[in-house]
Structure 1
Amino acid sequence: MITKEEFRVNLPIFNFEGKTQDGSKMWMNRVINNLLLLDLEQDKNITPATLGSIENITDKVNQANAFSDYYVDGEFDYSDSIYSITPIIHNSKNGKELNRQTFTGPDFFDLIDEISIYVRDNVGIVQEMRDQYIDMDIKDFTTTSLDALKEYHFGRHDIATEIDPTFALAYYFKSVRGTYYSQGQLEEQYQIDRAYENRRKLPLQLQLKVLIQRHIAYNHWKEAEELVKLQLEIDPNDIVYSNLLYTIYSETRNFDEYLEVTKARYNEQLIPDAYSVMQYRQALLVNGKYEKVIDLVNKYQSLLPNNNSVSPFKTEALILNGDLEKARKNHNKTMLFHPDDGYINDLIEESINYQMSDAYNADHSRFFGEFRSARAEQVVDYFEDDNIFLSYSSNQIIDYANMISENKIIFTYPENSFSIGQEFQKNTEGEVYRIKSIQYYSYKNPETFWFYKENDRIKKADSLLKASNYTDAEVAYTEAISKHPDHFYLKDALAHIKYMKTIDAEALSKQYQAISGTYGARKFWVEDNKLFYKLGINYKKELLPISKNRYITLSSYWSNCEFEFLDDNSIASFTWEYDHENMKWKKLDDANNYILRDE
């Protein structure tokens, strides 16, 4: 039996304030909320969520008061080998402290278990309700090692699993992240296989999430969908299962079902949690239900008249609905309250100005096509469905796009103070061939990524290469290069094919063995007669030779590895990166790039 969502307690958990002067423990206050989340998720009487980056009371109330009656933060200290953690329960409407209790002891993990019970007691989940669900100790399904926990907390999952090879969650989350950003299927599959091997230590719900992620990592979408739907019949409002289902619907282009499921989840809750509201809004926008989005935002504006974080969610719907004067008025109000979102505000302003101008071209087709990332295996598809301009990035949730000029579009995410501006660039023939994608943040400098347009000709060449059909692949790549001379990576692939036709298996094996080893944070090794590379905690990639010394990877087009054999019999490795603006390869000159093989 699973407690119905309308009877669950929504509970945001913020960071705990660090009080300790012990430098080795200063990271621990920021892992408490995540451990509490994992522990509390076992109890289906409660829907916890972490909102770690918010520090002041005003912002905490703004984030929590629409979706919950309570929120939790607290304090952390460590002195004389004793941990001290003080959870504080607040009224989400005004931030008033309702209860606090200090827990002390030598075992950090045991304190998390005690605090989990305390929190539930003080938000109305009594012993009888708690007894409905299994409550495993946090150390039993995470790790008993604080060192492993620290690496896990900082996202260094490889190091965490080196310290604790049974740390199933570290394997799982590395695979999930790799899949989401298409970092490399080899590593995604390796990590989820390790999580699967160690899944028995996890709570049942997490075991099933590992199994579903394994299906996704191996592109078994049908099996993943069937398993997710079965689990949602048991627990219809589990956020991870719901997110997986939305990803599957995005992959299979099932937008109607995406809307129906998100609508049902939203309507079933007396006080909808933030996730349900945001996903329902997303599904409405993807399906062109702009008026309903406006009504939804109006509802929360009336409920929370003093919450200035709500208004940005209306602007996009107004623009997409053609209500440009209202959009400008709403955006002007937003800019007054959110001046730190300068980049994002400027992009939205640019969109409104463009769509109100005589230059506005409402035809989306100039943006259509599939574009492959130069840095990862990610493919982004731009297309139209029922006259709605949409975008799908592999393994992510479907998104809607907004035009800001004849050759630019934007994606905005008010909940994260984040926006993406994309410029579709043309070649000398006047055809779009790549995208310059800039990610804008309110809290750091922009980052630039590049995507190159793909088609059946390029996909065919790639498929032949991966099948080691070098004869046909050479023909296919030669043709592709003649049609797409600015796709720099096609020439690299052709160079690899030609090199492979000049070397036999024995000589190639000796070439690989000669350079294998560890070069600082870089590792090169041979596995199943193939050469692999890994940089620190990044993702495993297969290297393909284009000469005796230089290698490419199909997982990340923009980077090449090269080796130099020195007179003293030592070997150095260094990398090249493609300069997209100047359209040429650039050898990195910094000292950290040129690294000798470890003795």
Structure 2
Amino acid sequence: MEQEIKSKKFDKKRVTKTLQFFAAYLVAAWTLLQFVDWVLIRYNISPYWVDLLLWIFIGIIPSLIIYLYNQERINNRVLKLREKIIFPVNIILILVITYFGFGNSDLGATTKTIAYTSEEGNQASAVITKEEFRTGFPIYNFEPKTKDSTKTWLEFGISILLQEDLLQNKNLDPKLSGIKNTVDKVNNAKIFNDFYVDGEFEFVDGNYTITTFIRNSKNAKIIAQETFNGNDVLNIIDNITVFVTGNFASNEFNTPTYLDLDVKEFASNSLKALEYYRNGDYENATKEDSTFALAYLQSAKKNLIFSVSKFEERNLADKAYKYRSKLPLQRRGETLIFKNLAYDAYEDAEELIKLQLQVDPNDQTYNYLLYTLYGRSRNLKAFFEHALNSYEKRPSINNGYNLNNAGLINEKYDEILKKLSKVELLLPANIVFSLQLKPQLFKGDIVAAENTLAKMKLLNPEDENLVKVYDKAITFLKNHKVTKDNLKKFEGEYRVNGSEQTSKLWVEKNTLLRYVSNQTITPMIMAGENTIVAGAPNNRRTWENTFLKDDKNKYYLYKNEENDFDNSYITYSWKVDKNIKKAEALFEAKKLDSAKIAYEIAIKANQKHYYLKDVLAHINYVKSIDSETLQNQFKDVVGNYGPRIFWVENGKLFYKREGFPKIEMLPITKDRYINMTKFENHFAFEYANGNVIESVVYRYDIEKEIWFKLENKGNIFKKD
């Protein structure tokens, strides 16, 4: 009995001693963490080390307590079976947890040095913050407190300019979003961000009052807010930038520092120009401010992506490059990229894009352009590797979409579905289902795809116009096994009837791929014997391509139905064979005699291609008259016709209308002209008493195979 009491007293002492040592351990560990945190900030080293050490300190506690309680025995190397099991298992668990928690984290410096060539041609370098250590957050709308139609553009105008201003600071990673209601803001922001920014504003008696909120992305609660007043909204936006930066970067790893140009300096000091810019009307924006480099740049980007007009692409890229000195350094680099793309210098453009991606690996524009170049060269491996690397380094919705598309292109369906399963609890259900649908279809799991589509319809019944293409695909695939031969009949190069956009279709492994000029590769899926479909309902765009056969039973044209939320738009694309390509090359080289023969051959091989006959008619016409007569003919039509302008430049007749590209007019008669940008339009001039009095447009109806006059007021204009 006495021995038992002594044993209990001894145990109590051991417990007390253990607790004392453990308390000392906690104090020492906390002190070490604070010191490490200071060192990391002082020398720009990854903050993940603090988290890693914290998990190690916590994870080792079970083994530590056992050791402290039994340290005399253990120090004498006497271990019981439970300790021989617990100690190694504890260490293994720590290793596993830290590997999965920090295996993909950058534990090195928070900064990196990039090398580049300056505009003067000199080799230079710069130290920048690695993207992994930048604070990411969405910027949403600034709600107007009172209705004022003259200031409604500021609702997203403030957001657009604020993001552009904040992008100069590479400690931050702001993303612009058009979402307006709070529930959707939270659902969008909470997936990959801890915060988001929005606000409210009003304009009273010439004075602006703008309140900016920094909110918790999980519950929309305000973390910080500040109200700014003044009569100059652009100065206020500069102050908002300082406020946001101060909250997100002041105590972060925010060295090195970055140059912060004022909005007026890098954009425009004209509110009217900025209003046009916010509304995407870049042409009027540059009319208001002829040196508005950012507007020229965005317009060049838009024209390039949609291949509107080569003339226009080059003109806008040249203007953006001319006024690039107004822009921040990185935007200056972007002007050179688009200049190279506009002039088909693709290798130089790719080199510059990769350099810019060293600075901003997650930038949507640069990634999009790189995917475009990979699509042009059909470098599918590089496409997938870049998409995978981007997503693993910086998980985001946009990087997820790119990875999903790259996986489909490379037929990695199971990998896509596996990665989706890891984040499906974080993403809204409608996005998850939309991302699951295509890998299930391409994989051939039609039952799963049909179930997924049913869930999409249940959650979003208003998306009927978007998902109808997949209804058609599932119905077809239920009863048809698609082979490589079925897909190969769609292969070829195509040219849009109403623009300069081209597309290529080819089979890679067992997948039909489509590359549209200056856009990315898209995997297509059969939805009928002569129909293929593509698109993503969550991106609000789907396509249905229906192919038409000629008398020789060969595809010569496809009808493209593009669907958005509640509308569908029809365009047509002509198949381009080697005869057409040869004729067009000779015509572009101004070798008219050879081009004439080539077009005659091309027409015989492509009877349905009406526009080939138009080009041949032009060649025959200009060969039938002398240059002086042709120039006099041009002089007769030169002038303003309402919104239309015709002028002569370097002996050529050009046309321009606000909101439309500059195009060259090619005569086929004295009063009728074709163009190589929009095959479907003929421009005609009506004469009275030997003078031109009116400009009209004729359009070709592909279904009826006839030309008809556009009689509406927007297409008939008297000469001023």
Normalised TM-score (structure 1): 0.96
1:17 & 1:581 partners in 2: Cα distance?
Answer: 47
1:134 aligns with 2:259: yes
State, as a whole percentage, how many aligned pairs show the same letter.
38
**Partner in structure 1 of residue 298 of structure 2:** 173
Match of 1:402 in 2: 525
Moved more, 344-353 or 536-545: 344-353
Contact (CA 8 Å) 1:361, 1:406: kept in 2 or not?
no
Distance in 2 of aligned mates of 1:587 and 1:192: 35
The counterpart of 1:19, out of the listed 131, 145, 165, is 145
State how 1:200-349 maps to structure 2 within 5 Å: 200-269=325-394, 272-304=395-427, 307-349=429-471
Any unmatched runs of 5+ in structure 1? Answer: none
Alignment correspondent of 1:157:
282
Runs of 4+ in 1 over 6 A off after TM superposition: none
- Which of residues 61, 74, 91 is equivalent to 2:199? 74
SS of structure 1 residue aligned to 2:493: strand
Distance across 1 between alignment mates of 2:589 and 2:536: 40
Task: Answer yes or no: is 1:583 the counterpart of 2:705.
Answer: yes
Cα gap change, 1:568 to 1:98, in 2 (>3 Å) = farther
Between the aligned partners of 2:181 and 2:360, the Cα distance in structure 1 is 34
1:422-469 per-residue CA deviation (whole Å, 9 max, x = no partner) reads 101112321111010011111x32111110000110011111112222
1:10 corresponds to which residue?
Answer: 136
Q: Which residue of 2 aligns with 1:88?
A: 213
1:475 aligned onto 2:602: no
Aligned counterpart, 1:505? 627
Moved more, 166-175 or 155-164: 155-164
What SS is found at the alignment partner of 2:553? coil
Q: Give 1:126 deviation, angstroms.
A: 4.3
Segment drifting more, 527-536 vs 61-70: 61-70
CA distance in 1, matches of 2:171, 2:390: 16
Structure 2's unaligned 5+ residue stretches are: 1-126
Q: Does 1:540 align with 2:662?
A: yes
User: After superposition, what is the alpha-carbon deviation per residue over 1:481-501, rounded to whole angstroms, capped at 9, x for unaligned?
Assistant: 122111110111111011011
Aligned equivalent of 1:367: 490
Deviations along 1:73-119, whole A, 9 cap, x unmatched?
22121111111222222222233333332211111111111112222
Q: How do residues 399-478 of structure 1 correspond to structure 2 at under 5 angstroms?
A: 399-442=522-565, 444-478=566-600
Give the whole-Å Cα distance in 2 for the aligned partners of 1:349 and 1:575: 39
TM-aligned CA deviation for residue 199 of structure 1: 0.4
Deviation at residue 273 of structure 1 after TM alignment: 2.3
Letter in 1 for 2:470: I
* Distance in 2, Cα, partners of 1:319 & 1:566: 62
1:186-206 deviations in whole A, cap 9, x for unaligned?
A: 111011111111101111100
Q: For 2:148, give the aligned amino acid.
A: D
Q: Which has the higher contact order (CA 8 A, sep 6+)?
A: 1
The answer to whether the 8 Å contact 1:179/1:188 transfers is yes
Tell me if structure 1 keeps the 8 A contact 2:171–2:249.
Answer: no
How far is the alpha carbon of 1:360 from its aligned partner?
Answer: 5.1
Rg larger for: 2
Flag the structure with higher helix content.
2
Name the aligned partner's letter for residue 213 of structure 1. F
Q: Show the counterpart of 1:101.
A: 226
Shift of 1:253: 1.3
Question: AA paired with 1:11?
Answer: F
Matched residue of 1:485: which SS?
coil
Pick from 480, 487, 502: which aligns with 1:379? 502
Contact kept in structure 1, 2:636 and 2:692, CA below 8 Å: no
Q: Secondary structure at the match of 1:155?
A: coil
**Contact 1:420/1:440 (8 A) holds in 2:** yes
Q: Deviations over 1:133-187 (max 9, x none)?
A: 1111111100000011112222222221122111001111111111110001111
Amino acid at match of 1:425: L
Instruction: Give the secondary structure class of the aligned counterpart of 1:464.
Output: helix
Kindly provide the CA deviation profile for residues 389-413 of structure 1, in whole angstroms up to 9, marking residues without a partner as x: 1100011111111111111111112
| Aligned residue type for 1:369 | G
Is 1:115 matched up with 2:240?
A: yes
Query: Shift in Å at residue 359 of structure 1?
Result: 7.0
Q: Hey, what does 2:161 align to over in structure 1?
A: 35
1:552 aligned residue (674, 677, 684): 674
- Deviation at residue 592 of structure 1 after TM alignment: 2.3
Provide the rounded CA distance (Å) in 1 between the counterparts of 2:546 and 2:515: 17
Of the structure 1 ranges 55-64 and 205-214, higher mean CA displacement relative to structure 2 is found in: 55-64
Which region of structure 1 is more displaced relative to structure 2, 237-246 or 409-418? Answer: 237-246
> Which region of structure 1 is more displaced relative to structure 2, 492-501 or 112-121?
112-121
In the alignment, the residues of structure 1 paired with residue 703 and residue 405 of structure 2 have an alpha-carbon distance, to the nearest angstrom, of 34
What is the Cα-based RMSD across aligned positions, in Å? 1.7
2:365 and 2:588 map into 1 onto residues whose CA distance is 33
Are positions 1:530 and 2:652 aligned together? yes
Aligned-partner Cα distance in 2 for 1:171–1:386 = 41
Q: Any conservation in 1 of the 2:646–2:656 contact (CA below 8 Å)? A: yes
